[in-house]
Chain A
Amino acid sequence: MNVRNENGRRNPGKDPFAAWTECLKEEQAAVLCTLLAFSPSPGLPSGVRLFIPENGEPLGDLGDEALNRLAVEWARKKLDTLHPQSETCIFSLPGGRQAEVFVDVNLPPSELMIFGAGHDAIPLVKLAVQSGFKTTVVDPRPAYATEDRFPGARIILADAGLWEERVIIGKRTYVVVMNHHLERDRVAIRLALNSPAPYVGVLGPRSRCQRMLEALEKEGVTFGEEKLARMYNPVGLDIGAETPEEVAISILSEILAFRKGCSGGFLRGRDSIHQPVRK
């Protein structure tokens, strides 16, 4: 149905393509569906679109109510996955009709939040910023958590007491805990595992991580299996990394692989480069 104002013109500001463009500019999560073909009608439809923001109501029309509904459902489902890809889908409709729709996904930049501003965080932040991550460093030590040491990153100079109001972890925030300090690591792990973060990397050997979890348990803080499944320790891919630069490559590679559901092994001999082998 058309939303028209009194003089019969379409509502200004009700244009799905303009809304989509705004989302691209503001780096917000959204899906734009564009109708490519609608059997049995021949030809390429012109500018028939439906815009579905992650936060907000759909806008536009694919020319069929059932198709609109299917597309909105599909888009919402996609936006719930970690790293959805754009694709052309065929939707089957009542009465044997089929619609071919290009589903374009726009995502906000992934965020990387690093707890610990030590010397080994420097190359990790550098790589992450270069790779397009919105990067944040959290550390209570003013001599370490400086913008000079971490160009391009946001610095949160705060200890755990202030985190609640200053540290915001969302469902697209990847966390790495690397304080080299048991106490600070422990509170960071507690915060991260209780947040929506999909990935919580913890630097150091398993025995150390285990000890921190046991200490938390003594404080009465336990995590279910689901929460613990998001913890990656020892952190990084198995590339034999030793120096801080190598460790940074190992950690960021793991995050990239995790984000797309890739296994992180060698591509050699693989038939398809872009099809992730699901873990």
Chain B
Amino acid sequence: MKENREIALAMEEGRRAGRKMALATVVRVKGSAYRREGAKLLIDEEGKMTGVISGGCLEPDVAEVAKQVMADGHPVMKRYDLDEDLVWGLGLGCPGTVDVLIEPVSWNETTSEADVSRSSDGKGVEERGFAGKEASS
């Protein structure tokens, strides 16, 4: 599970450099697939990729979708049905359906240090002070 850390470090580096990025995450797998839920691929505006979400057959298309996501700031859920839609790969896919969520990477504040252990208001679950929704801008 070093992969998540590598994604986080690449995100940090991209933010420092002020590059736009999109994060693709496998959120659902039906049938067979090379990677399972939680696999991530980070793509920046220069096309640099970190991480692996398939045996290589999804990455090129996901990178195309990521360009659009970076441009307009809206997330996209893309379903790959590897029985029929495998038009770009080398016939490497496994028979299965993979849903990939492709989101713009954005923070709603320029906080480089998130305080992950701070209690919001010290009350119970019912009274918890959830912060507001994160706007994707």
B110: chain A residues at CB < 8 Å are 12
Q: Is A106 an interface residue (CB 8 A)?
A: yes
B133: chain A residues at CB < 8 Å are 47-48, 60-61, 63
Q: How far is the CB of B5 from chain A (nearest CB, A)?
A: 6
Complex CA distance for A58 and B11, rounded to whole angstroms: 22
Q: How far is the CB of B84 from chain A (nearest CB, A)?
A: 21
A16: chain B residues at CB < 8 Å are 131, 134
Q: How far is the CB of B100 from chain A (nearest CB, A)?
A: 11
Given contacts A48-B133, A65-B126, A69-B126, 13 further A-B pairs with CB under 8 A are: A3-B131, A10-B132, A13-B113, A15-B108, A17-B106, A36-B27, A56-B117, A58-B128, A59-B131, A61-B130, A61-B133, A88-B27, A109-B2
Using a CB–CB cutoff of 8 Å, the interface residues on chain B facing chain A are 1-2, 4-5, 7-9, 11-12, 25, 27-28, 32, 36-38, 74-77, 99, 101, 103, 106-111, 113-120, 125-126, 128-136
Q: How far is the CB of B73 from chain A (nearest CB, A)?
A: 8
B101 touches A47 (CB 8 A): no
B5: chain A residues at CB < 8 Å are 24-25, 27
A15 touches B28 (CB 8 A): no
Complex CA distance for A260 and B131, rounded to whole angstroms: 34
Q: How far is the CB of B85 from chain A (nearest CB, A)?
A: 20
A86 touches B36 (CB 8 A): yes
Of A28, A63, A88, most B-chain CB atoms within 10 Å: A88
Complex CA distance for A12 and B38, rounded to whole angstroms: 27
Closest to A106 in B: B4
B101 touches A15 (CB 8 A): no
Complex CA distance for A57 and B1, rounded to whole angstroms: 24
B134 touches A17 (CB 8 A): yes
Using a CB–CB cutoff of 8 Å, the interface residues on chain A facing chain B are 1-4, 9-19, 21-25, 27-28, 30, 34, 36, 44, 46-51, 53, 55-61, 63, 65, 68-69, 72, 85-88, 102, 104-107, 109, 132, 273-274
B107 touches A18 (CB 8 A): yes
Q: How far is the CB of B60 from chain A (nearest CB, A)?
A: 22
Complex CA distance for A28 and B116, rounded to whole angstroms: 10
User: Which listed residue, B9, B37, B107, B128, touches A17 by the CB 8 Å rule?
Assistant: B107
B75 touches A47 (CB 8 A): yes
A1 touches B129 (CB 8 A): yes
Q: How far is the CB of A231 from chain B (nearest CB, A)?
A: 26
B136: chain A residues at CB < 8 Å are 46-47
B36: chain A residues at CB < 8 Å are 85-86, 274
Complex CA distance for A74 and B111, rounded to whole angstroms: 28
A57 touches B118 (CB 8 A): yes
Of A12, A14, A34, A58, most B-chain CB atoms within 10 Å: A14
B37: chain A residues at CB < 8 Å are 85-88, 102, 104
Would A72 and B116 be within 8 Å (CB), given that A27-B5, A63-B133, A85-B37 are in contact?
A: no
